[in-house]
Amino acid sequence: MDLLSKEDFFSKEMLGILDEALPVAEESVADFYKMSTSRWGRLRYDVKTAALLFDHEHVKGAYAQVMRYVAMPWQCSTSASAFTVYRICLQDKAILQRMREDERLLSLPFLTFILVHELVHVVRFSKHLQLFDASIEARIREELRVQEITDSLARKITIAGMDAVRSFFSDSGGLGVDLF
């Protein structure tokens, strides 16, 4: 991982916008997959920004990526008690850089779009609609599918600036090289 400076991490203001974006993205994805609040609550995932990522969770050329971990309850060693946890790893530097380069991209719609995309990945993994360990061809197909779903969901989210974000992603062909 390259050395990051203070400007490469979300500011307090950006973290506040992230707090606004997350429930909007969650509601949109839960609604699309017709998941009740309790079913959604059983989906194990967290969202981390760069300051809280491990070295291997940083990735170049993407705005975010999903990691999958198998967790074991404390003092349990049987694999039957293991469960899967997904982590959405936001790449602050890439997100901030892109917004600096393209002033049409406002932080609330931009973050919301990225979160919708990553949450669609998480739900599809959890429903086994997509294997996490897939071939590169399958990953590319999955990205296109997820991008299509994300765009259709984002179209229904009424946040100022979402249209510009949608056209940015459709012109640039998706979320960079996240491939999950």
Region from 18-26, 69-77, 157-165, 170-178 binding Zn ion, contact rule CB under 5 A: 170-178
Question: In angstroms, rounded to a whole number, what is the distance separating the alpha carbons of residues 30 and 61?
Answer: 28
Nearest residue to 175 (alpha-carbon basis) of 107, 98, 78, 70: 98
Q: Taking CB under 5 A as the rule, does residue 151 contact Zn ion?
A: no
CB of 13 to Zn ion, least distance (A): 26
Q: Taking CB under 5 A as the rule, does residue 178 contact Zn ion?
A: yes
Q: How many residues bind Zn ion (CB under 5 A)?
A: 3
CB of 81 to Zn ion, least distance (A): 30
CB of 175 to Zn ion, least distance (A): 5
79's CB contacts (< 8 A; 6+ apart) are none
In the three-class reduction of DSSP (H, G, I as helix; E, B as strand; rest coil), residue 131 is classed as coil
Which residue number is nearest to Zn ion in terms of Cβ?
Answer: 178
CB of 165 to Zn ion, least distance (A): 15
Give phi and psi for 123, each to the nearest 5: -65, -40
Question: In angstroms, rounded to a whole number, what is the distance separating the alpha carbons of residues 57 and 64?
Answer: 9
Q: For residues 24 and 116, which CB has a smaller minimum distance to Zn ion in the complex?
A: 116
